[in-house]
Structure 1
Amino acid sequence: MLIVIDFESEEPIYQQLKNSIMKGILTNELKEGESLPSVREMASDIGVNMHTVNKTYNLLKEDGLINIDRRKGAIVSKDKQKPTEEYKAKLKSNLDNIIVESSLRGINEEEFLDICKELYNQYTV
């Protein structure tokens, strides 16, 4: 799986890395039971600090997407977790900001929903 980090982006590196790994899991580039590179190896491969990778792996573990085993390292879990009320509130907040910005840039509801459907359908498994 190719992970590309944009070091000029305002999005934190750990979030970019998390998003890349989540997409890899969703698209089956990373399969259930597959090992991710060690923290040291991943950090070296993409040119970031080990703490950044460690933070990413811990967030993925909290989300139930990987398991961390002391002997085997980080393993793709793919246990789908039900969305919590906390997650739904965060989703609404994020979407609210995106909708406001889109509306200010002249994107109407139909166009916005078309974009959402197009993107959502890319990942429907």
Structure 2
Amino acid sequence: MIIQLEPQSDIPIYTQLTNQIIEGIATGFLQPGHSLPSVRALAADLGVNMHTVNKSYHELEKKGIISIIPKSGAVVRPRKEISQEAGHAERIFAALRPVIAEALVVGLDQQQIEKQLISIIHDLKEIKS
């Protein structure tokens, strides 16, 4: 998996990293049980501060996507474990709501939004296979 960070983006680096790791898991590039690189190693590879990677890993842990095991590192959790935890759907839909509201405000209609969502899901599943 190639992680590409955009330092000039308005999106914080740790958020970009978090999102790309989530996408790597969604596409199947990162499998359950897969160990993520150490904070130090990933920071060095990406040319970012260790605290940035650490913050990203803790965001992923907070979302229940990875487990951080002291002295062993970060590991992708099995989907069955993740899906059994309450609140994931509600949190995700709450995060989608302002994005969809913005899409409506800028003039996109329901069909355009649905088409784009379907396209994104298709792209993520296609990468996986």
- Displacement of 1:13 in angstroms is 0.9
> 2:75 aligned with 1:75, yes or no?
yes
**Structure 2 letter corresponding to 1:25:** I
- Normalising by structure 1, report the TM-score: 0.84
In the TM superposition, what is the alpha-carbon distance from 1:3 to its structure 2 partner? 0.5
> What stretches of structure 1 move > 6 A for 4+ residues in a row?
none
Q: What percentage of residue pairs aligned between the two structures are identical? A: 35
Q: Which residue of 2 aligns with 1:104?
A: 105
Q: What one-letter code is carried by the residue in structure 1 that aligns with 2:8?
A: E
Distance 1:122 1:16 in 2: 19
Question: Residues 102 and 36 (structure 1 numbering): CA distance in 2 closer, same or farther, change over 3 Å?
Answer: same
CA RMSD of aligned residues (A): 2.1
Q: Secondary structure at 2:115's aligned position in 1?
A: helix
Report the counterpart of residue 5 of structure 1 in structure 2: 5
Q: How does 1:39-54 map to 2 (within 5 A)?
A: 39-54=39-54
Q: How many residues align?
A: 124
Question: Which residue in the other structure is 1:118 paired with?
Answer: 119
What letter corresponds to residue 99 of structure 2 in structure 1? I
Query: Which structure 1 residue ranges, 5 or more long, are not aligned?
Result: none
